[in-house]
């Protein structure tokens, strides 16, 4: 008899956000309740070998084993197997992800295994145990991933982007809170500072000047925007920001919908500070976090 389990959960978050959170091996102790530690032994662009250590059981025993994991984000599938099998003759696990909607992802775990003759529990018993524990962990992961979308993000929590000028911070975006329709942030501009000209082929932009006074050049036409005033910038409209006041300005921006790919979101039409030529870049949106995937 081969043990086989098939469990899934629907998580109210976009696929990319669910993928990043659930495949960040270093973050598993905060995602799963049963893992105390993850030690990455070897990793590559699409694979990792790692040691998992569980919390002590009721008898105070600590279980640990080495697993191997391979992933293909384009296919939305992860395959894993135990290298140190312990009581198992073999244990293979397949994770699949299905985008149910823009803000809902189905994550499925399929496990195939067989117990050794001298294992403390037989294959039927382990099947029952895995089904029970999978339900607990899947519900917990759903709760923790969804809660991650509700976090408060401060300016100092995210890196500064100065490529186009000013001190620009993307606060809420797909990588850190799983936005699916756009992203927002803020830029600080000192007197005379500006953001070089660019446009958005796929997105509208909404600007709100929290403090200070700026000039926004829209296709070359200047528009003054003062404190506590807002401006809508349609897609494909070239725009440049300049602080025309005597004090610093804080400008909040929101951009949506998202471009098909991050690098297509912004087109530069003039160089930023220290650059010699414009280019195409998604300077507002940070790259998806690096790490084990």
Q: Are 204 and 255 in contact (CB under 8 A)?
A: yes
Q: Both 109 and 161 in a single domain?
A: no
Q: Both 87 and 198 in a single domain?
A: no
Q: Are 82 and 64 in contact (CB under 8 A)?
A: no
The pair of three-digit structure tokens given for residue 148, joined into one six-digit string: 């991650």
Tell me how many domains the chain contains. 2
CA distance 221 to 225: 13
Residue 226 has what pLDDT? 97
- Locate tokens 């032994």: which residue? 41
CA distance 23 to 17: 10
Residue 279 has what pLDDT? 53
Q: Both 50 and 140 in a single domain?
A: yes
Let me know if residue 159 belongs to a domain. Answer: yes
Q: Both 113 and 143 in a single domain?
A: yes
Q: Are 182 and 203 in contact (CB under 8 A)?
A: yes
Q: Both 60 and 33 in a single domain?
A: yes
Peptide bond between residue 257 and the one before it cis (omega within 30 degrees of 0): yes
Q: Both 53 and 93 in a single domain?
A: yes
Residue 105, domain CATH: 3.30.530.20
CA distance 44 to 68: 11
Cα–Cα–Cα angle for 87, 96, 288, nearest 5°?
110
Let me know if residue 242 belongs to a domain. Answer: yes
CA distance 33 to 80: 20
Q: Are 139 and 9 in contact (CB under 8 A)?
A: yes
Let me know if residue 278 belongs to a domain. Answer: no
Contacts of 230 (CB under 8 A, 6+ apart): 206, 207, 208, 209
Cα–Cα–Cα angle for 30, 84, 32, nearest 5°?
15
DSSP class of residue 87 equals T
Let me know if residue 219 belongs to a domain. Answer: yes
Residue 95: which domain range?
A: 3-148
Q: Both 197 and 60 in a single domain?
A: no
CA distance 27 to 17: 14
Contacts 24+ apart (CB under 8 A), 245-248: 245/191, 245/212, 245/213, 245/214, 246/191, 247/191, 247/211, 247/212, 248/188, 248/189, 248/190, 248/191, 248/211, 248/212
Let me know if residue 88 belongs to a domain. Answer: yes
Q: Both 171 and 69 in a single domain?
A: no
Of 102, 127, 148, which residue constitutes the final position of a domain? Answer: 148
Let me know if residue 82 belongs to a domain. Answer: yes
Q: Both 13 and 142 in a single domain?
A: yes
Strand-pair partners of 213:
none
Q: Both 162 and 84 in a single domain?
A: no
Let me know if residue 262 belongs to a domain. Answer: yes
Residue 163, domain CATH: 2.60.120.10
Let me know if residue 289 belongs to a domain. Answer: no
Q: Both 137 and 31 in a single domain?
A: yes
Of 148, 165, 181, which residue constitutes the final position of a domain? Answer: 148
Residue 172 has what pLDDT? 97
Q: What are phi and psi of 75, to 5 degrees?
A: -85, -10
Which residue numbers in the chain have pLDDT < 70?
274, 276-293
Q: How far is CA 74 from CA 12, 15, 52, 98, in A?
A: 20, 11, 26, 12
Q: Both 181 and 232 in a single domain?
A: yes
What tens digit of pLDDT does each residue of 186-237 get? 999 999 999 999 999 999 999 999 999 999 999 999 999 999 999 999 999 9
Of 148, 175, 191, which residue constitutes the final position of a domain? Answer: 148
CA distance 237 to 107: 40
CA distance 276 to 281: 15
């Amino acid at each position: 008899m081969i043990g086989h389990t098939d469990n899934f959960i629907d998580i109210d978050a976009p696929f990319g956000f669910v993928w990043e959170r659930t495949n960040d091996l270093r973050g598993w102790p905060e995602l799963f309740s049963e893992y105390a530690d993850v030690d990455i032994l070897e990793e590559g662009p699409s694979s990792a070998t790692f040691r998992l250590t569980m919390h002590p059981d009721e008898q105070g025993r600590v279980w640990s084993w080495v697993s191997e994991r391979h992933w293909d984000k384009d296919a939305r599938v992860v395959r894993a197997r135990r290298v140190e099998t312990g009581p198992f003759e073999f244990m293979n696990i397949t994770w699949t992800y299905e985008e149910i909607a823009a803000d809902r992802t189905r994550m499925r775990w399929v496990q195939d295994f067989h117990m050794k003759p001298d294992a403390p529990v037989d294959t039927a018993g382990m099947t029952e145990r895995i089904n029970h524990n999978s339900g607990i962990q899947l519900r917990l992961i759903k709760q923790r991933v969804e809660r991650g979308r509700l976090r408060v993000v401060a300016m100092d929590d995210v890196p500064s982007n100065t490529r186009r000028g000013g001190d620009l911070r993307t606060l809420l975006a797909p990588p850190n809170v799983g936005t699916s329709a756009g992203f927002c942030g803020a830029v600080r501009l000192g007197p005379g500072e500006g953001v070089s000209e660019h446009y958005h082929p796929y997105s509208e932009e909404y600007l709100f000047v929290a403090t200070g006074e700026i000039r926004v050049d829209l296709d070359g036409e200047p528009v003054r925007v003062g404190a506590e005033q807002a401006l809508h910038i349609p897609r494909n409209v070239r725009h440049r920001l300049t602080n025309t006041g005597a004090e610093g300005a804080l400008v909040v921006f929101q951009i949506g919908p998202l471009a098909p790919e991050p690098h297509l979101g912004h087109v530069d039409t003039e160089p930023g500070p220290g650059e010699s030529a414009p280019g195409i870049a998604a300077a507002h949106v940070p790259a998806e976090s690096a790490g084990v995937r």
